Amino acid sequence: MLTHLCAPGFMFLLGMGVVYFGRSRSKLGWSSWQMTRHFAIRAFVLAAVNEILFTLPFGRGRLIVLNIILLALAVNYLIAGLVWLAVNASENALSRLLDSYHSSPGDDDDAGRPLLQDETAQSFTKSDTIWATRWSWHIHNVVLLALTIITIAWNSWLSPHHGHCPLDTPPSYTGPTQPRSTTLGPWFDFWFLSVHYQRVISPFPPLAWLSPAILGLVYGRIILSRKWRAYTINAGNALFGVLLMIFFVLTRILHFGNLSEDCLRMSEQLASTGKNQYLASFRSFLYISKYPPSFAYMTLTMSINFLLLAFFGAMPEKVARRIPTLLTFGQSALFFYILHLMLYFCMAILVKHWFGRELDHIDPMTGKPAIGTEGQPAVMWITWLVGLAILWPLCRWYAKFKSTKGANSVWRFF
């Protein structure tokens, strides 16, 4: 469950970061073209890092794309940046249009007609401009929220069986058996479905993960719209987290927004045939589809993420600074993510050599029986803590290093 929070959290913070970046660069006088160039370069760098550090070494010459999420981050960063620029431009245009319409004197109102030409300009009052700006801002937020819903709903719409498993699924099966392709071809599937081809492996289809990035745009716009009290922000985060949790519960009860309908074949489902599969047990209730993400998955994970935002937001800064690694990893999050993948991959070789045993499933990368430490939680926890201890000084150094670089430096991308 904890790892489920990461990917939507990445995308959400990506969208929020775009708003913060755009606002700060606008104050520095950057043009839309300069920001577009920055978004494109950063997306290219992320895609290049994915290819150089992961596809080439782990693909072993067999793969041309191994998308472990960085490629999805690259694509959605570029899309989120372009959407923010488009919204920023159209918001100003709509504000001017509403201002002009709301402020123009009525053609049939002789008493309201200006006697002098100068009085026409004076009719555009400050209150009219504020009214138009507010309405334009709200309208664009509604549009972005609609896009947030559409871009998660299309994962169900585009699913070959619309989120349902065939009724002849073998009884012994314990999870969803969704087809991994559509009739629209592999190029289309790459963007919307988790795919495993001979030369391309992509469990994180870029456009299937666009929804939390757009939600991040909305959140960033709201946070920067005015000077909020910390209490208000924390209360808002907690309230929205609870609202999303209610939506998740409804997906279980009302059977909507899931990509695993009629898919669970565990003992509790077999013992309660014909009943709601998600209410058969606690683990069934929490069963969610991540590859690609369903609406149920997104509401549950983002609910927890918003509750965590409220929790950490309420934490005094002095307390946060006393928690080992918390701020250090947060100030170099992408660097930490890339480095931790390579470090734990190398550590896994040693751990599996010393403590591993053959498991009852096939390793998709080698085609041979998988080797792991299943059933040995102490090994996992110790490996995790040792890895964090190695990563902490490296991330601390990198955070200081990138702080010395200019606003345009590629090192600040990480």
Cα–Cα distance for residue pair 381/38, rounded to 1 Å: 39
pLDDT tens digits along 293-320: 999 999 999 999 999 999 999 998 888 8
Rg (CA), the chain: 25
**Nearest to 54, CA basis, from 71, 40, 76:** 71
What is the predicted pLDDT for the residue at 324?
72
pTM attached to this predicted model = 0.86
Say how far residue 361 (Cα) sits from the centre of its chain.
30
Q: Where are the alpha helices (DSSP H) in 60-209?
A: 70-103, 117-122, 126-157, 186-192
Task: Give residue-wise pLDDT tens across range 29-84.
Answer: 999 999 999 999 999 999 999 999 889 888 878 889 989 889 999 999 999 999 99
Residues 6+ apart with CB under 8 A from 125: 103
